[in-house]
Every structure is written in C-alpha cells, then in structure tokens.
Structure 1
C-alpha cells in the first residue's frame, strides 16, 4: 500500500515527526500520532475501500462514535481478564499483583464492617469467630470467614451454631497426670441412674456427693441401713427359675453399689462391709425360701451394725476418755464424732482439762464442735488454721486425732492436715493418739498421700486443686485405740489376722 496515496501530505507529516524528535518532545509526538491515526488514516482508508469497490465514498463517521465502539469492544472482553488485570486510571501508577490483592482485602474488610454495623443484634460469638479466624489462621481462614458471612446474611444458622459451640471454653479442671488416678465426687442426675437403683439409694447418693454425709463410718451405716430398712432387700422377690443367693447380688445389689461409687469413691469401711455382705449372701442355702433368706440377711446386717459400729464406737470412746487426766491440754483437729464423744465423755467423768481446737482452714467444721464443748463446760481455745501450730503444741500434753482408715503398714489415713499435726507433735515429744474402728482397717499399704486419696470438688479449678486426705507414717503415731484395745501402729497386721478368725 502506498502511503503517499492515502496521505497526500505524507512527507509533511514525516518532517513534523522528525521535528518532534529533534525537539525531544515525546508528548507532542504522541499527540500528533493520535490525531493522525484517528482522523487521516480512518478517512483515507474509507475512501480507498470505496474507490476500489467502485462505489461512492460514504460520509466519514465522527471520531466520537469510533470511541464508543472501542469502549463497547472493551466491555465485551472476558470479565476474568479484567479482574485479573484491572486498568489503572490515567495519571496513576499501575498496581502490582500484591497491591491489587491488598486493595481487595481492604475493600472486603470495609464491606464486613458495614454489614456488621447494619446488624447490631448479631451475637458476640459470631463476631468473636470472625476475629479469631482472621487473626489466628491468616490467609487460609479468610475464604471460610467469607462463606460464614454469606450464610449469616442468607439465613442459614447451622454453620454459625457449630462454630460457636467449638469456641466454648471447657471449664473442666486440668488435673496433672500424676493425680489422674484419683477420683472426685460428682452429682449424678437421678434420670441418668440405672433403672434398678432403689429410690432410697438415689437419695443417699445425692447426700454423699454433696458431702452432707462425710466421714466413713456415717457413710457405711447409712449404706447398710438403706440396704436393710429401706426395702432394698425386703422388697426383693426372686424371679422364677433363679435362687436368692445367685440372682440378688448381680441384679439387685451391684447396681446400688455402682451408683453410690459413681456419686463418691467408696471408702475402705464400705468396701469391707460390702465384701462381708456378699459373703453372707453367698452362704444362703439355695433351698431356703425367699422370706427366710431375706430375714436371715437382715438380721446379719443388724448384728454387723451393732457390733462393728455401735459397740465399737462405745468401746473406743470409753477407752480414749480414760486416757485423759486432770489438767490435761488436749489438741484436736477439725471435727470427728469419735473425738467429740470422747471429750464429752471425759467431761462427764468430772475431769478438768482444756482443749485447743485447730480448725480445717478450708471447711471450718470445728466451729460447731467448739460451741458444743464450751456449752458442756470445757475451756476451748480455737485456732482457725495451722499457722500457730507449734505454739499451741508447746503447751499441749496429748494430741487426739481420728482416722478414716489404717493401712496394714500402720499408716493413718485421715483428714488433710492431720499429718502436719502428728509430725510436729512427735518432733516436740507430744503423744499422738489415733482413734479408729477396726472396720476401717485395710490390708493395703500406703507410704504417701498420692496412692489413695480424693480430690475436693469444691476446691478444684484450672489453677489448682486440693486433696481431702493425707497419710501419716506409723512412726508419728504413739497409740491406736480400737474396740479391741490399745495397740501400736505396727500391730495392725496382727489385728487384721485376728479379725479374719472372727
């Protein structure tokens, strides 16, 4: 194609371009080329095409229409390429890929803020979910946040509820691994208990889990009475084809025991009594009628309570009261029914003595005991904690403690804090007397407070927890008072052998 035909003044334009280059004016050169391209070239091309076709030359279109067509052509381009490479406005710097991504994120954040402001009643869990996802997950969490945001505006609640449930903090206390074997009392809803559990046992379990019945002997007596007098045994009827001794234990007695154990860990005296009860059931003659078998079993339970609990407590109280003399200063810890009855019995025997009562700093159960002793005419000095223990022991003649259990190696299992008192008293040369029924003796061995213990549910948090009991070594116990008499802590194995013979 000949440019001199299309552009009659082609040489003039060439000279003008050369002049622009000589003057080093790129802007003028660009403007001249745009004018030439849009006007001269378009008009000359149309004229040439019409002349070659043999027709008359049409009226040339205005440059504005060509611009409109160009804009429409640009609009018809694929939307994906436009999003990937957005055109920068005139006079502005072209944005890089990272800058474009950052700009999109800012626009998205602005839209979220606007939507959140438009819905002030939106739950705090949803807002916390967006914040947690954006801060903790980085770029990977943002698509998930967008999806959740769309579901919220669209009306779908399920993803929001599940996410809110996931961020709920677990209030369960964290127990170290070294204490994970220890149990803790917990309240069980009656609707979740086994259908075979007697209503009387359900109530007893609630009392145990709430520590309304705390010490071991009281729990043991209440359990046996629930089995005996509250229709657990008397209301039982042996099914056809079974015998009393083979059906009652597995189908009636075991569900009661499992429920009580789930409410609070079984103490040593309860374990001994239940083993004895199962032994008595197994001894029932299979040919014996149900009425006679139940009568025999109820009589055995009554005799057990009378001999191993009632008479045992009476003998222990009388023996310990005889060990108190005039002008004695007795130091005791917290509250126990054996210690209370011993001090009151000594007062009834017309003995004059003083009592220093060191209370449990967590439960304050000694306040009621101090009031009872004062009402009985006993001079009582009350200490709220173990802070001044050695000062009180310096004027003490005897220490009177009650045990929850005695291990076969002579160690005493008692309320937490008893070991501190016994250790300090032995160091100062003060006699330590331990009161315990033989039903609380166990063949197990313990040398520390971690093997057998319970976690206090009322003082168990994420920060720390408290143990209910501690273990005192036999060398810190001067004498153990039982219904069989006074003995040293090292004589426990001999007492256990004697109990087996009985």
Structure 2
C-alpha cells in the first residue's frame, strides 16, 4: 500500500504493507519518506522488497533506526526548507502597518519629525499613516541644529517634501539623488569603520528621515535600491576619494540615462501616435505627457488637447497654462464631466507613478476613472512611464498600499469661504475625511504602455522588469 503525504512544498510517498501494520505497529516518523526522482524510485523498490521478504525484528529495528537518523539528519540540514528561505530572501521587506500600536510606538521613539496622528481616521485605511497637518514643518524647522547626523542637503529636501514644494515622481527622485550626492561628497569614513557599511547605514538614516516627511514613491524605492547596490559592489581596493567619485558618477548617470534620456525616448515614440485632427485627452499634470504634446506641436501637427482636472490639487491648471502659452488649442474640464467629452476624444495620454508586474498602472487618483470611461467609449489609452518606475509587485486594489493626503484639502476650497460648509465640523467624531493620493488602474483598461524600451502591451511588463534588472546600471 502507498500513501501520498505533503510536507511544506514537497511531496513524499510512504510505502508499507498491511502485514507490517497488523504484526508490529511502527510510529509514523519511523517510516521511510522518499522524495521524487530517480533516487526515490530506486529506494522505493528496496523498501517494497524488504517488506515482502518479512525480515526479522532485529533487522526491522535497525532499519527503523537508520531511517529515523536519516530523516533527523535531513531535518537538521534543512534540505526541504532551503527553497522557502530563498523565497523569504527574495520577498520584499514588509511595510510598516500603522494599525499595529506596538510598532507605531517604537517608530515614534526613533522618529525625527514629531507628528500627531489624525483622530478621525477611516477604518479601512488605518494601516496607512495619517497625521495632523500644520504642526510638522514648524517643529522640524526648530530642530535644525539638533540633527547632527543629518546632512543639510537631505534636510532641505525633506522640508520641501513636507511643504509640498517638490511634486511629481521624477522631480522628487532627482531632488533626493542630488541631496545624496552632496552628502556623499562631504562624507568621510569614521575611524575603525568601513566605507561600504557605514555609508549604507548613513543612506538608510537619510531615507528614514525622508519617509517621515513624506512616504516614498515606488520609483524612489527603486532608485534607493540601485544606490545601495552600487555601494555594496564597490571594490575594496578603491580609496575613499575614488569610491566617492564613483558613486557620484553613478548617481549622475542614473539621473541622465534613467530619467532625462528616458523621457526623450518616450517622447520620440509617443509622437508617432499623434495625427492631424486628433483630440487628445490627458488627466492631471504629467511632465512626460507635457513634453509629448509640446514636441508634437513643434513638429507642426494640428490637434486639440482636453485637460481633465480634479480637486484638491488642481494640477491640470498648471499644465493648461503652459500649453496655452505655447499656442496649443485646449479645453479644460473636471473629472465629473469626462463621460460627456469622451465621445469627441480620439486618444488618451496618461502619466504614471509606477507600473506593476501584472500590468496595473499606479497613478494619481482619478486616473482609473478616466481610463475606464475611455475603455467604455472604445478610445485607446496610452500610458507613458519610464522603466525605472516599473516594479515586480502585484497589486489588485488601492487599499493595501497608498498614501493619504491632507484631509483639510478636500473639506475647504481656497478663496471661497462662502462655500466652506464644513468649517467647524472637521473635528467631529462622526465625520471621517479620506483624501487618497493614488489609485490602481487594471491592465484591461490600458491599450499600450510607452516606455524607453519601446511601446508594449500591459502583458509584457514582466519582460521589462526582467530586462531592467539585467541592465548594467542595475546589476
């Protein structure tokens, strides 16, 4: 008789006869567990043969001891658990869950920016950080001379993140890398320490400070991973000045090749999709989409642009102003009217904060709404995104990972006090304000993704992720 057993990720066969069960009961852990493969088949034949020949009790006990010792040795060596350990190493580091009170209290003790948690938080998003706005910036400004290990350039970028002066994935990533470049330039290895380990720890402390000012975007996480990888692979024979020069060159090369040149390549590809007489719709204010529209206008193509915007940031107004100044024909509307104007649109160009491995587009909240309406009207949706923003993560919703903005931004309208009906009600216990920053657009609503590697369908995103990892800048 044979029984199929599973242990962890492995499958095993247990061979025994009914005569053995009836004559002499043997514990389960003393049976012979055989793995798949050629060795398993040969060992199985030996066990069946020995069972048919009815060996003596002494032979049985010795064989059972040997089998038990083999199983114990295999458990000690952890041969079956090695693949699981490898998977744990490859798995991304777990993100901070802000509904875990013990972990939150520990994080508060290490925090540089003292922040007060929002009282009326939406229960579904309690795992995301949300603080009272308006108190962090003055408190951080008073602690400038108390932050000894913090480099002034990193401190300045953190203040700009906190105040909202720097927006956009590319702008935030470039500002962060330039601050790191200044920090590396002024860095000196402490005595009795190595540059690789100490500088990595220093960069990690800078990253923690920036996260306290504002959560990192996915593209910034990829850039930080690249920098730490370059630090870890520095040759030990290099002097400190040579190592610092190498790292600063790597940072400049990353900014030039992965951001600036990538945008130019995307523009070159995307312009081929614009024809005379097109009505192009865009949402929010994407720097890459703006470059595409301006370059197509410079080439002499005649088209009309529809800028769709939404509160509270109203970033589309800035894009609209720049396009009108360049002489482009534009229409401005809000996202609540997108279904009315979509019937006249021929193509939709959208930016992205990131593109995930399953083809999901992670972008400014409202992007999914625009893409779904375009799909309903059979309008092609073209997403423009640099390859360094691609990530191997798979995300099916906007709940597990997101960023919460200032709730006061949606409860008040600047310059319109007569319609601020929520004044005095924001702190009510039965009122919860939710201001999401990003949303996830399923790949079914995306026609094409334009990257610096070319124009691809959403199903080919894993290929880009793999090729990007093989890039010499990454590996």
Q: Which TM-score applies when normalising by structure 2? A: 0.67
Equivalence for 2:454? 485
Q: 1:207 is matched with which residue: 157, 160, 181?
A: 160
Q: Please tell me whether residue 447 in structure 1 is matched to residue 401 in structure 2.
A: no
Question: 1:171/1:233 Cα in 2 relative to 1: closer, same or farther (>3 Å)?
Answer: closer
CA distance in 1, matches of 2:263, 2:249: 20
Q: 1:196 is matched with which residue: 103, 126, 149?
A: 149
CA distance in 1, matches of 2:122, 2:323: 41
Q: Please tell me whether residue 238 in structure 1 is matched to residue 189 in structure 2.
A: yes
- After TM superposition, give the deviation of residue 242 of structure 1 in Å: 1.9
- After TM superposition, give the deviation of residue 327 of structure 1 in Å: 0.2
CA distance in 2, matches of 1:374, 1:215: 21
Q: Secondary structure at the match of 2:185?
A: coil
Q: Secondary structure at the match of 1:381?
A: strand
CA distance in 1, matches of 2:409, 2:161: 17
- After TM superposition, give the deviation of residue 290 of structure 1 in Å: 0.5
CA distance in 2, matches of 1:316, 1:244: 38
Equivalence for 1:362? 312
CA distance in 2, matches of 1:469, 1:184: 15
- Written as runs of structure 1 = structure 2, the 5 A alignment for 1:123-134 is none
Q: Please tell me whether residue 470 in structure 1 is matched to residue 439 in structure 2.
A: yes
- After TM superposition, give the deviation of residue 444 of structure 1 in Å: 0.8
- After TM superposition, give the deviation of residue 190 of structure 1 in Å: 3.9
| 1:152-200 C-alpha deviation (Å, 9 max, x unpaired) | xxxxxxxxxxxxxxxxxx9934113320112347635144574211111
- After TM superposition, give the deviation of residue 393 of structure 1 in Å: 0.3
Q: Secondary structure at the match of 1:303?
A: helix
Equivalence for 1:412? 361
- After TM superposition, give the deviation of residue 459 of structure 1 in Å: 3.2
| 1:60-119 C-alpha deviation (Å, 9 max, x unpaired) | xxxxxxxxxxxxxxxxxxxxxxxxxxxxxxxxxxxxxxxxxxxxxxxxxxxxxxxxxxxx
Q: Secondary structure at the match of 2:226?
A: helix
- After TM superposition, give the deviation of residue 396 of structure 1 in Å: 0.2
Q: 1:265 is matched with which residue: 215, 232, 247?
A: 215
Kindly indicate whether structure 1 or structure 2 has the higher relative contact order, using CA contacts under 8 Å at least 6 residues apart. 2
| 1:282-340 C-alpha deviation (Å, 9 max, x unpaired) | 11122321111111111111111111011101111121122111000001112111111
- After TM superposition, give the deviation of residue 247 of structure 1 in Å: 1.6
CA distance in 1, matches of 2:240, 2:386: 33
Q: Which TM-score applies when normalising by structure 1? A: 0.63
Question: 1:196/1:364 Cα in 2 relative to 1: closer, same or farther (>3 Å)?
Answer: same
Q: 2:224 is matched with which residue: 246, 270, 274?
A: 274
Equivalence for 1:375? 325
Would the aligned equivalents of 2:276 and 2:302 in 1 still touch at CA under 8 Å? yes
Displaced runs of 4 or more, over 6 A = none
Would the aligned equivalents of 1:184 and 1:264 in 2 still touch at CA under 8 Å? no
Larger Rg: 1
Equivalence for 2:83? none
Q: Please tell me whether residue 249 in structure 1 is matched to residue 200 in structure 2.
A: yes
Equivalence for 1:18? none
Q: 1:174 is matched with which residue: 108, 120, 128?
A: 120
Equivalence for 2:296? 346
- Written as runs of structure 1 = structure 2, the 5 A alignment for 1:11-50 is none
Q: Secondary structure at the match of 2:184?
A: coil
Equivalence for 1:50? none
Q: Which runs of 5+ in 2 are unaligned?
A: 1-115, 411-425
CA distance in 2, matches of 1:289, 1:184: 44
Equivalence for 1:14? none
Equivalence for 1:183? 129
Q: 2:171 is matched with which residue: 192, 200, 218?
A: 218
Query: RMSD between aligned alpha carbons?
Result: 1.7
CA distance in 2, matches of 1:444, 1:183: 21
CA distance in 1, matches of 2:358, 2:199: 36
CA distance in 2, matches of 1:172, 1:473: 31
Would the aligned equivalents of 1:399 and 1:433 in 2 still touch at CA under 8 Å? yes
Equivalence for 1:401? 350
Question: 1:278/1:381 Cα in 2 relative to 1: closer, same or farther (>3 Å)?
Answer: same
CA distance in 1, matches of 2:318, 2:237: 53
Would the aligned equivalents of 2:356 and 2:390 in 1 still touch at CA under 8 Å? yes
Equivalence for 2:61? none
CA distance in 2, matches of 1:249, 1:191: 28
CA distance in 2, matches of 1:172, 1:374: 40
Aligned length: 329
Q: Which stretch has the larger CA shift, 432-441 or 240-249?
A: 240-249
Higher helix fraction: Structure 1 or Structure 2?
A: 1
CA distance in 1, matches of 2:465, 2:284: 28
